[in-house]
Amino acid sequence: MNWSDVLGAGALVPLFTAALRLAVPIILAAAGACLAERSGLMNLGIEGQMMVGAIIAFVTVYYTGQPMLGAATGAAAGLVIAAIVGYLTITMAVDQIITGISVVILGTGLASFLYLQVFGMTGTPPRIQGTIPLDLPVLSDLPVLGPIVFSQSPLVYLALALVVALWWVLTRTAFGLSIRAAGESPEAADSVGVSVPRTRWSTLLISGAAAGMAGALVIDSLGFFQDGITGGRGWIALGVVILARWNPLGAIVGGFMFGLVDAFQLRVQAASGGQATSVPYELFQAMPYAVTLLAVIATTVWFSRSNSPKALGIPFVPAK
């Protein structure tokens, strides 16, 4: 294998371009999870919401040819699955960890079931045409930054704009103040008239919609659907929330780190040309997940004081 094909000067721009594309679904899902967790609710069902969003988006684009509509229906599907989480954890006060894991199993199985119901067992899996990368005048022609930042899919820009919007809502609005209060001291928030259940419902539905759209972004990038298409990115998004210190803008850095390592391992496998190497290819596939795990551990050790909301994972029942 020629390492100049992976890390050479001419290979760095395509590497970072692919890294941003691979990172955006995780960034969006993590930003939505930041809102939910800042309100005190753990949305551990992100992986299931992404899977359902992915299959609904795939079916939509397959029959309509409209990727933007697919992103919208994917977000709606994620919102519906999040509503199940909300009913169990907010209304019924069921354990949030058990509920999250159950919803992941439900979403993964439901996605496979829907795919078989719509397409059946086919020899050649159906494919879709994703969004075409934009060619922005002047900006796309800039050296280095042009192809990396200004030649991406419209859905990439939409997702990043939504991440910034979520940060603005959380840090610059009265609703964001209610979210932070509900996560830090729900009793105090309730005493001044903030409806903690309503606030948590709102953030959970936003998180579910973001996760569903993230699943649609995975489909838009790959152009096909298969079991486990999200590849554990929902779990990675939860790790990125910790890396981001529960800040939606911080999710951009954490998500891009995963995308960069993922793009690197894909290029290493492509550069090997299928030839046998001394390093098993499974080790390269595990690299993004291992790096994210190590980064979460390092962040936890480095910051002696946790920045997590004090009421995270604790059910709240308003006084009658």
CATH number of the domain that residue 215 is part of: 1.10.3470.10
Tokens of 71: 């992103």
Predicted confidence band at 267 (pLDDT cuts at 50, 70, 90)? confident
Q: For 152-186, how does the pLDDT look when each residue is reduced to its tens digit (9 = 90+)? A: 999 999 999 999 999 999 999 999 999 999 999 99
Secondary structure of residue 249 in the 3-state scheme: coil
Contacts of 217 (CB under 8 A, 6+ apart): 24, 25, 28, 71, 155, 156, 159
Does the residue 319 lie in any domain? no
Q: How many structural domains does the chain have?
A: 1
Does the residue 127 lie in any domain? no
Does the residue 128 lie in any domain? no
d(CA 139, CA 151): 9
Q: Which amino acid type is present at position 194?
A: V
Q: Is the pLDDT at 281 greater than 80, yes or no?
A: no
Does the residue 316 lie in any domain? no
Tell me the mean pLDDT in the region 138-160.
Answer: 89
Does the residue 306 lie in any domain? no
Q: Containing domain of residue 261, as a range?
A: 1-118+147-300
Tell me the mean pLDDT in the region 235-252.
Answer: 94
> Of how many residues is the chain composed?
320
For the chain, percent of residues with pLDDT exceeding 90: 71
**For the chain, what is the mean pLDDT?**
90
Q: Is the pLDDT at 216 greater than 90, yes or no?
A: yes
d(CA 96, CA 308): 16
- What is the pLDDT at residue 121? 83
- What is the pLDDT at residue 308? 86
Tokens of 97: 């960890």
Question: How many angstroms separate the Cα of 23 from the Cα of each of 27, 68, 260, 308?
Answer: 6, 19, 8, 23
Of 276 and 244, the structure prediction assigns the larger pLDDT to 244
Q: Is the pLDDT at 218 greater than 70, yes or no?
A: yes
Does the residue 211 lie in any domain? yes
* DSSP H helical ranges for the chain: 4-7, 9-38, 46-64, 67-86, 96-119, 145-149, 154-172, 174-184, 186-191, 196-222, 233-243, 250-272, 281-302
The conformation of residue 305, written as its DSSP 8-state character, comes to S
Q: What value, to the nearest 5°, has the Cα angle with vertex 301 and ends 300 and 302? A: 95
Secondary structure of residue 139 in the 3-state scheme: helix
Does the residue 320 lie in any domain? no
Is the CB of residue 42 less than 8 Å from the CB of residue 200?
no
The conformation of residue 151, written as its DSSP 8-state character, comes to S
Q: Which residue has the tokens 């920045």?
A: 307
pTM: 0.93
Q: Which amino acid type is present at position 126?
A: P
Does the residue 221 lie in any domain? yes
- Phi and psi torsions of 254, nearest 5°: -65, -40
